[in-house]
Structure 1
């Protein structure tokens, strides 16, 4: 699939979500439409990040159905239709930038939604900045993406550095005998940042970092590194990467007999693909995430006014629990609508200024962009696979289980 557009209809009889193919590269450019908010999204629908890209596509489809049911959005007392236009960039960073440029120059989108991951978000953000198009990033948490001086980039995830600090503090308190940690991270923007942050927070917390290495993108065998980790005899193994990296790493840890009471894989257990791919080997693995459906926000702005309402609609539609990718990306669409409503139009500069002034509560949680465009830090859940369930360990306000050491 090269492209796809999803539209919300406000005319009489437009009851469902209408799917249509967007014009390919050889077609005539799309013309600007009055009364339509056009959102462009380069997505990884094939390739190594296809699972993650599908999550974004699925939740935006659900969001559009919700908006459509209400007849569109109110802007200055008038109803405005909403259209999503997406292109598959095939998990190729260079192509992500090309698809973003096509969305701006050929399709005339009013705003861009960033793809999955900090690395590809950074590429697309450069395009958005060049054309001065507001961009919402819902799955990019590395500060290195937001320290480039971009004025049109805004992200709904809080900085990932806070995750490492809270996790170190939590495990030290729960496992007093924990002394040594091994850190093994993918050499990519987000996983590298998380590995670096964890090693720093562990050392600051008095733990000994007995192994600290990165692995190349595309690594298909972790056995040499895992053998070295085993020899270092850590109490805590902390690995970062994307789902398939972590599945392979956990299997090879079992094959090579690595036995550590605490095993963390960021952000593996946040995804059902991780637990489904590992079965019993996922049991006991911990992680950190930006959101969990047990949060109970009410009185929120957007398509869903409660966390529970979003959870019900999502599980009804997809028969599975939503994760932080779904929630953050749906909230990003809510934030965009609020900014357009505040601006009173789709004027890009006015929407950008309204985004910069955002301070609102969504079903996902509070959104308050800092000077660099990132959502402000807050307590983020620590989770663990326990049997067939994902349990929340921290913070105490939403915890539903105690830490279990890996057997």
Structure 2
């Protein structure tokens, strides 16, 4: 027997699929009048030509609910022919007016698929459907219409000076992974659509060798010699600070994902935007978690590198700890990227803190953990600002990485519902597939992808490649992504996105705080080194 069923079923939907719905529909004045009357809409803009002629539109507008209903109907054969129920619309935008005589086409992109939690054997599909309207074209042969598909334009060139060698090469490599993951995705779809022109994307990379001064020099090269139109940020606050000087002087927007120091944004810059939560949030969440534990830890020793980011993290801990009934016994500084911190760890051991914290980077976190074991510093909590979230931390320390906690910009357990791009779960799948990894991406990867998404949405909203218009679109951006909300305060900092706390348990990262996104509970207190 031939299967004559129409439409798709749950298993047919794949994230990233785009369906260009075959049927179009030309709207008429009669459609508009009847729909408006049937729905008791008394706004004369929809049915009174004299009234409408006096408005900025000059003629009657199609009822927007009619347009919404039509777009939904056009999508049925591809999207909802076989559904049990339409669960709703989470966002509807009306970016342009529709008039009688316009022909409506639509296309849908699959954003997320997941099994239903309440109905075994069924699933939920989330899609984004967009409308294309074209004026009715009269020809000698009669009336016809066609879809106004985007044309293809020149490539948009992004530049990025990233630490591919040097002390921060591990973090720099993760940054590049996040950029490249988005690059593949956007180019598979033909590029970024700007004012109905689809532009493929290029990212030109330079290796700043973990040197902030070299980073600034390379950013200037990317702008001047390599004709980069926009800049994706480097790894680290120090390099971001020097790069910000260049982009401000040249009037080129930069979106960065790995420079959390608020000092970067204290100069009144207009062209630098950071998608990540600022430095002062990195370890305060660990204190919030610690305050829920029994017995509650009460004393802290804070170790800190002397770069701006690390000092801001340490300062925030010192100021916040008393509000949680905790005392910072000492704050000890060391030169950034110091190869030996055993002396400071020995001083910390003498104070016998409940919590040993470090504000620094991956290499320093590894060295501090090794020194703590060697010297027998047995804290109840070991918490480091940067490092534990990366796979290199576990690879370097093995079982000694267990029990360490950190504040994380993102984990695969967050529950954001993005308005475009991939869902959280599909982002993890895309990363594991591209990089042949058995481990999910860490937050450095995710936040770097988020920087690209901010640029993408700003370019779409600006409808222009003009640097100033894109800068203005970034300043007004407010969008939900798999990484969380991207929205900037007047300084260009994303103060609107929270952080989470994760802990390494049996060689695996678990989100342990806050409880509403946790997939594990804190293992506390940390056993003494001799008991592990």
Q: Which residue of 1 is the match for residue 163 of structure 2?
A: 44
1:296 matched to 2:415? The reply is yes
- Paired residues for 1:267-278 under 5 Å: 267-278=386-397
Equivalent residue pairs, number: 373
SS in structure 2 at match of 1:270: coil
Q: Kindly tell me: are residues 158 and 213 of structure 1, through their superposed partners in 2, closer, same or farther at Cα, counting changes over 3 Å?
A: same
Q: Which residue of 2 is the match for residue 151 of structure 1?
A: 270
User: How far off its partner does 1:133 sit?
Assistant: 0.3
**Cα distance in 1, alignment partners of residues 337 and 497 from structure 2:** 33
Q: Which residue of 2 is the match for residue 11 of structure 1?
A: none
RMSD: 1.5
Q: Which moved more, 1:78-87 or 1:291-300?
A: 291-300
SS in structure 2 at match of 1:41: strand
User: How far off its partner does 1:337 sit?
Assistant: 1.1
Whether the 8 Å contact between 1:159 and 1:377 is mirrored in structure 2 is no
Whether the 8 Å contact between 1:164 and 1:201 is mirrored in structure 2 is no
Q: Which moved more, 1:171-180 or 1:133-142?
A: 171-180
**Cα distance in 1, alignment partners of residues 431 and 153 from structure 2:** 31
Q: Which residue of 1 is the match for residue 430 of structure 2?
A: 313
SS in structure 1 at match of 2:246: helix
Q: Which residue of 2 is the match for residue 20 of structure 1?
A: none
**Cα distance in 1, alignment partners of residues 346 and 263 from structure 2:** 32
| Residue from 249, 253, 264 that aligns with 1:130 | 249
User: How far off its partner does 1:38 sit?
Assistant: 0.9
Q: Which residue of 2 is the match for residue 183 of structure 1?
A: 302
**Cα distance in 2, alignment partners of residues 195 and 299 from structure 1:** 32
**Cα distance in 1, alignment partners of residues 205 and 445 from structure 2:** 16
- Paired residues for 1:56-205 under 5 Å: 56-205=175-324
Q: Which residue of 1 is the match for residue 519 of structure 2?
A: 400
- Superposed CA deviations along residues 170-220 of structure 1, whole A, max 9, x for unmatched, are 202214441211000111121221112112211343322112111112422
Q: Kindly tell me: are residues 297 and 204 of structure 1, through their superposed partners in 2, closer, same or farther at Cα, counting changes over 3 Å?
A: closer
Q: TM-score, normalised by structure 1?
A: 0.89
**Cα distance in 1, alignment partners of residues 485 and 408 from structure 2:** 15
User: How far off its partner does 1:266 sit?
Assistant: 1.4
| Residue from 287, 306, 329 that aligns with 1:210 | 329
SS in structure 2 at match of 1:331: helix
Q: Which residue of 2 is the match for residue 282 of structure 1?
A: 401
User: How far off its partner does 1:166 sit?
Assistant: 2.7
**Cα distance in 2, alignment partners of residues 34 and 133 from structure 1:** 21
Whether the 8 Å contact between 1:118 and 1:145 is mirrored in structure 2 is yes
User: How far off its partner does 1:296 sit?
Assistant: 3.1
1:252 matched to 2:380? The reply is no
**Cα distance in 1, alignment partners of residues 490 and 175 from structure 2:** 26
Whether the 8 Å contact between 1:162 and 1:377 is mirrored in structure 2 is no
User: How far off its partner does 1:59 sit?
Assistant: 2.2
Q: Which residue of 1 is the match for residue 347 of structure 2?
A: 228
- Superposed CA deviations along residues 10-36 of structure 1, whole A, max 9, x for unmatched, are xxxxxxxxxxxxxxxxxxxxxxx9622
**Cα distance in 1, alignment partners of residues 526 and 190 from structure 2:** 50
**Cα distance in 1, alignment partners of residues 412 and 296 from structure 2:** 32
User: How far off its partner does 1:329 sit?
Assistant: 1.0
Whether the 8 Å contact between 2:458 and 2:470 is mirrored in structure 1 is yes
**Cα distance in 2, alignment partners of residues 208 and 53 from structure 1:** 35
Whether the 8 Å contact between 1:393 and 1:403 is mirrored in structure 2 is yes
**Cα distance in 2, alignment partners of residues 297 and 178 from structure 1:** 31
Gap runs ≥5 in structure 1: 1-32
Whether the 8 Å contact between 1:379 and 1:395 is mirrored in structure 2 is no
| Residue from 460, 465, 472 that aligns with 1:346 | 465
Q: Which moved more, 1:196-205 or 1:265-274?
A: 196-205
Q: TM-score, normalised by structure 2?
A: 0.68
